[in-house]
A and B are shown apart, each in its own frame.
Chain A
């Protein structure tokens, strides 16, 4: 079974600075997807970014980018120019590329605080 590990329960960053959240995963599959979700105090789960394992290029969405190291099974999220609205719980998630159910396996989350 796949596992996802987020080794940083909490992180903090100063407004306008850059922070990197870590995620590692364990799988024997070669075809899979990785995701970062953000959960602000409103509790809504919001997709931040998605990475397909077969793509070597790291995904980027505005101020959010990932460092995907397939051989190391590492998938870190970098937030540039941090804003107060980035304060949230961040979850890393894995989805198998095969099969038919597309279920997600989540890490336990990293709580990000942004200091003004």
Chain B
């Protein structure tokens, strides 16, 4: 158990509304990631963070923003949700304290945009 929680676990929202997903870790690891999982695509990286206030884009970052004001929290925001953002979202962490800098994942958040 890498001490990762995600909230909410499920959310249904309407097109055009803002949505924020939260990832919280208890282990003080440096790196945090947001992925989305869609059928036929595996997991794809949205954004990642390599420290407080240090973030960068992944391969599918359009329509998403992130913030990390504390080591333990990494927020993913959909400024104006669209139906194409219906997906399962996973947070992951990694760091030097983990063998091989392996990524460990949170339980996921299922987001439905109507």
Contact = CB atoms under 8 A, between A and B. Distances in A.
> Do these two chains really belong together in a complex?
yes
Interface residues of B, number: 25
Interface of B: 31, 33, 40-45, 48, 50, 56, 58, 88, 90, 92, 94, 99-105, 107-108
B45 A52 contact: no
A95 B101 CA distance: 10
Interface in A97-114: 100-109
Main secondary structure of the interface of B (DSSP, over half): strand
Contact of A44 (B41, B58, B107): B107
Main secondary structure of the interface of A (DSSP, over half): strand
B108 A50 contact: no
Contact of B45 (A4, A91, A104, A109): A104
Given A50-B102, A103-B48, A43 B88 contact: yes
